[in-house]
Amino acid sequence: MRCFAGLDVSLHSTAVCIIDRKGNVVREGICASDPDALAAFLKASGFSFSRVGVEASSMAEWLYRGLAKARVPVVCIEARQASHVLKTRRNQASHVLKTRRNKTDKNDARGIAEIMRTGLYVSVHIKSPEARRVRILLTARGLVLTKALDLENAIGGFLRGFGLKMRRCAADKFAGQVEQLAREQRDVLESISPLMAARAELRRQLLEYDRLIKDFVQGDQVCRRLMTAPGVGVWVAAVYRSSIDQPERFRNSRTVGAHLGLTPRIRQSGTIDISGRISRWGDRLARTALFTAANVILNPRRRTCALTVWGLGLVQRRGRMKATVAVARRLAGILHRMWIDQADYQDWRGSLEPIGSADPVAS
């Protein structure tokens, strides 16, 4: 008998619900949140499964890979879309949708199983191990940079309390400026010296992350090809590479912009048809990287390319912000097409040279 299963995952345990084609519960239970234990639980039931659903979460990728390796037909579903469906439950007696009053792990597992049976789900792409590793490097680098900036702002605030005003300077000149300002107030310098040591270590680790990201990009053929496009440097190429991961999963290059939240929200009902601001769904880091590259492309001081000419025309007609978003959206499609076709960027004048980038990672 072909069945459907839903898994509601928590840190230590997972609620499992198995239903048949008619929606009747045939087995329920609690299992350890481990792919081997879950696979053994499902196989011990004696049923064959059409789909086994699990919501996207921090543990979903690990569980998905383990269950797929055990040849379980697992599907990772979008949590936001599943949440709306889980707010209702199917009454087996009256076949009417009623609001769920109690949110429990057991009810959630039953709801996910019902989603698998009806097909009312949106599957989530599971990134490859290589893309996951690069994303960890990028995310960790951003975290270290944020903490270093927090310490620098805190140190500047402490100094202002003594009338010592920091000037804006490069990161490598920050420590020298602090020592110069506080050289006559040794007690102040001694008070902030642990913070200065912590800030120096964070900056050192930041350089190490920059080196790791640069080494990956230089050794990756896809990233090197992406960097031939205007405005794309080490950081933008690494972010785009880790975000898209598998370009074949997109129907065409135009859908990449929508996937990254760079297309307008649409609200349509009867005579109402409103096109609002961009949706900002999808990968925020990739959207930020493309927006940064678009700002570089629209800089008239740099060497112009076809995207620059097109974007500056939009600036005059629609304004700077809308033009930057439009260039970022078009750049997302161009990079996808370059990846699919395995071709370097070719400008309208036949130039293959990049026009520069604004990457925080040295290229």
Domain boundaries 2-118, corresponding CATH code: 3.30.420.40
Average pLDDT over residues 49-60: 94
Q: Residue 347 phi/psi, 5° resolution?
A: -75, 165
Average pLDDT over residues 86-114: 68
The amino acid sitting at 334 is I
Q: What does the mean pLDDT of the chain come to? A: 90
Q: What is the pLDDT of residues 222-247, one digit of tens each?
A: 999 999 999 999 999 999 999 999 99
Alpha-carbon distances of 263 from 278, 287, 295, rounded to whole Å:
5, 11, 17
Residue 4: Cβ-neighbour burial (10 angstroms; 0-12, 13-18, 19+):
buried
> In this structure, what token pair is assigned to residue 300?
């008239």
The amino acid sitting at 70 is A
Q: What is the pLDDT of residue 358?
A: 57
Average pLDDT over residues 10-23: 94
- The answer to whether 345 and 230 are in contact (CB under 8 A) is yes
> In this structure, what token pair is assigned to residue 276?
């609002």
Q: Report the distance separating Cα 155 and Cα 111, nearest Å.
A: 51
Q: 17 pLDDT band (50/70/90 cuts)?
A: very high
Average pLDDT over residues 124-149: 95
Residue 335: Cβ-neighbour burial (10 angstroms; 0-12, 13-18, 19+):
buried
Domain ranges of the chain: 2-118, 129-219, 222-341
Q: What is the pLDDT of residue 355?
A: 47
Average pLDDT over residues 286-303: 92
Q: What is the pLDDT of residue 109?
A: 94
